[in-house]
Amino acid sequence: MNDMRIIERGTLVNDIKISAKGVQVYYADNHAIKDVDVEIEDKTVTAFIGPSGCGKSTFLRCLNRMNDTIDICRVEGHIAIDGQDIYDPQVDPVQLRAKVGMVFQKPNPFPKSIYDNIAYGPRIHGLARNKAELDEIVEKSLRRGAIWDEVKDRLDAPGTSLSGGQQQRLCIARAVATEPEVLLMDEPCSALDPIATSQVEELIDELRQSFSVVIVTHSMQQAARVSQKTAFFHLGNLVEYGETGKIFTNPEDSRTESYITGRIG
Amino acid sequence: MPVLWLFLIVLAVAILGYLLGRARALSAAPEGRRGLHSLPVYYGANVALKVLVPALGILILWLLVQPFVIDRAVSGTIPDSDIAEGASRGLVMSEVARVADGVKAAVGAGTMPAAMAADPSPDLEAVTQALKDAGQVVTGDVTQTVFAAAQKYNAMAAQGGLYMTILVLLAAAAGCVMGLHEAKPDFRARNVVEKGIRALLIAAASIAILTTVGIVLSLIFNTVEFFRLYPASQFFFSLEWAPSFSGRGGASELGILPLLWGTLYISFVALAVAVPIGLFAAIYLSEYASPRLRAVAKPLLEVLAGIPTIVYGLFALLTVGPLLVSVFGDGGYLGVSWQGGGRAVMTAGLVMGIMLIPFVSSLSDDIINAVPQAMRDGSYGLGATQSETIKQVVLPAALPGIVGAILLAASRAIGETMIVVLGAGAAARLSLNPFEAMTTVTAKIVSQLTGDSDFASPEALVAFALGMSLFVITLGLNVVALAIVRKYREQYD
């Protein structure tokens, strides 16, 4: 892989944003996540890689309690964001999700205008006191989503009228608009073509300035391109977690090596 | 030969042809099945098709055309002088047909000797008596003209039947021979059979459409006939509905407006009941209820849709009406006397609203369920609560479908009859008071056509004009509904 990047990465040391200890997830009787410990740093892109069904998406959805919407899903263990246990009964999952934004595999703009798509979160959480402030938030978010120039003349057009790549950047801008601290991305590029993918990847690298980004990806190249830290999941276990450069060049576990060299998965 | 037997014979030939065709195709292929273009069954089916389609086609066509031909021929033999004052040729012809049928039945039953039936100048009193003995309906004495015409009628029918039998059997045999001749290995039997099936499907689809066209045409002709007898401007703009059946001609006021007002008022009340309740029920069922509860509750709700409307009508008449009177009537709980009797717009509207709940809720529930989970996840992921998600994401996404469901319910409400007849009364009235009795277009159509009605009078023909107006209104509603659904439909995949 790219040696320049490895050196660059080695110099970064950040605070711990999310810390997970002994996390177990069950879907009815199926033990999907087995005893995962991981510490995710602030202002860092962390990639979760692994073969299909290894539990990386499930683990990602634990971080903002999206698994609560699935009846048969049960989460055990301890996950804390900034030291606060997010599964504490006092924590309102709705509030948590405002703090931990999420971008999904398939672009899912709401059946509303582009403007209303972005304004949705700020309106719900009362982030703007008046229309002017809301306009400002929308513009800022669209700029951060690197899509402002393409849509500034048609903010009233429906979000679904955009192309796939634009829709996904709209969804990222929508997530950014609620001022989250952590941004979770579940295979954000799997429905996009290579050009749209590279745009979204550039965007992810910029978002690192402000957020802790966790990205699930099927593409090992993508993980190598965008992330500083990489976690390799296999059959519900966290096999290896460390500097992206190290994982891809000198993995400790033989399973990691098999996966990144293409022998399994 | 009775048509049933003819049909069974054709069917038997078809089955025989099927078996023979299959066997012939098999024996014609030297290297077995692999040498045939199609599976052997297709060769058999090809023969069966060639037998059935022309033979049954001729049969049906003949049966449809023959009565007209005979009618025309026989009708020509009746001299004008024999048509009684005030009666028409059609009336005489229907008597001829009745006597012809009667004679046939009487000969079959043995009360009339075959010689008498064929006698060109029989004893007419004996004929009448014989017909009566056979249990036939005889309106008056059979006249010489009518009897002669009936004889000619029967003779032509018998001759036609014979020709038809011969022709149908010939067609069946020819089809069978042709199909068997075709049963050679390189004949593309499968393609032919599939074309036949496609023709069958097209025929089924066109029957439905042609029936609609036929209904509309019959409405249109009668409506035109009505407007010839009654001025259209008065029908559409008169504020009064007062048909008179005793003094025919001129005395009736046949304005549609009071009826239309009743229809729309009652439908409005019904929708005001059904839409909120149905929609809220749908939201609960699709978004909040556990799958187990939903599996029980949804079918239960749909049972409402299966109750015959006459039962709803009884409910309105016996339960809701008196209940409303005890609240809003003279000496009721509220101390007001708005409602005079149990039959009122409110009574019919409430009950009709209950009837419409399952339409709104069941359709809306399906539509809300069709909103992709990704939409909800996206909203939850931004920190929205469930009710915010439903209000701002799910419902807007489902709105076109919900509007369609509501308009469908509206069409039902406008076309509803039994609940109105029993619940809203029969008084055509333009009033704003929902506790007064009113009536609707459909209820009046029923009352204009039941009983002894003369289809040449405007009082009876008005029913068609009313029906046509109703048809145009509901058609317009459906078109609007479709347009809305199409315009605002979001494409999800």
Q: Nearest CA of chain A to the CA of B287: how many Å? A: 11
Is residue A151 in a domain?
no
Q: Nearest CA of chain B to the CA of A263: how many Å? A: 33
Q: Based on the number of CB atoms within 10 Å of its own CB, is B116 exposed (0-12), middle (13-18) or buried (19 or more)?
A: middle
Q: State the sign of the Cα–Cα–Cα–Cα dihedral B322, B327, B333, B337.
A: negative
**Tokens linked to A51:** 């073969």
Instruction: Provide the 3-class DSSP secondary structure of residue A23.
Output: strand
From chain A residues 155-174, the ones with a CB under 8 A of any chain B CB are: 160, 171, 174
Say what the pLDDT of residue B453 is. Answer: 67
Say what the pLDDT of residue A7 is. Answer: 46
The DSSP secondary-structure symbol of B393 reads I
Is residue A256 in a domain?
yes
CA B21 from chain centre, in angstroms, equals: 41
A with B: how many residue pairs have Cβ under 8 Å apart? 74
> Mean per-residue pLDDT for A129-154?
91
Residue A86's alpha-carbon distances to A62, A94, A99, in angstroms, are 9, 11, 11
pLDDT at B85 > cutoff 70? no
CA distance A84 to A70: 23
A106/B374 Cβ within 8 A? yes
CA distance B266 to B313: 14
User: What HEC string does B271-289 produce?
Assistant: HHHHHHHHHHHHHHHHHHC
Buried b (16+ CB within 10 A) or exposed e, B137-155: ebeeebeebbbbbbbbbbe
Each residue of B360-381: pLDDT tens digit? 998 899 889 988 888 999 999 8
Query: Whole domain around residue A99: which residue ranges?
Result: 3-109+181-260
**Tokens linked to B98:** 């009745």
A11 — pLDDT class (breaks 50, 70, 90):
very low
Buried b (16+ CB within 10 A) or exposed e, A38-69: bebbebbbbbbbbeeebbbbbbbbbbbbbbbe
> Mean per-residue pLDDT for B249-272?
87
Is residue A53 in a domain?
yes
Say what the pLDDT of residue B35 is. Answer: 79
- As assigned by CATH, the class of the B241-488 domain is mainly alpha
Nearest to A101 among B377, B382, B491 (CB): B382
Each residue of B317-352: pLDDT tens digit? 999 998 988 888 877 788 777 777 888 899 999 999
What's the complex ipTM?
0.85
Instruction: Provide the 3-class DSSP secondary structure of residue A115.
Output: helix
Q: Say which CATH number the domain at A61 has.
A: 3.40.50.300
**What radius of gyration do chain A's Cα atoms show?**
18
Is residue A131 in a domain?
no
> Mean per-residue pLDDT for A89-109?
89
Domain residue limits, chain B: 3-187, 241-488
Closest CA to B365 of B392, B402, B396: B402
Is residue A23 in a domain?
yes
Q: Which residue has 């504020």 as its token pair? A: B239
Q: Nearest CA of chain A to the CA of B400: how many Å? A: 11
Question: How many structural domains does chain A have?
Answer: 1
Q: Is residue A192 less than 8 Å (CB to CB) from chain B? A: no
DSSP codes of every residue in A159-172: GGGS-HHHHHHHHH
> Mean per-residue pLDDT for A180-191?
89
* Interface probe, candidates A62, A68, A73, A110, chain B, greatest B C-beta count within 10 A: A110
CA distance A222 to A205: 12
Each residue of B439-493: pLDDT tens digit? 899 988 888 888 766 777 888 888 899 999 999 998 898 888 888 777 766 555 4
Is residue A82 in a domain?
yes
* Interface probe, candidates A94, A141, A168, chain B, greatest B C-beta count within 10 A: A94
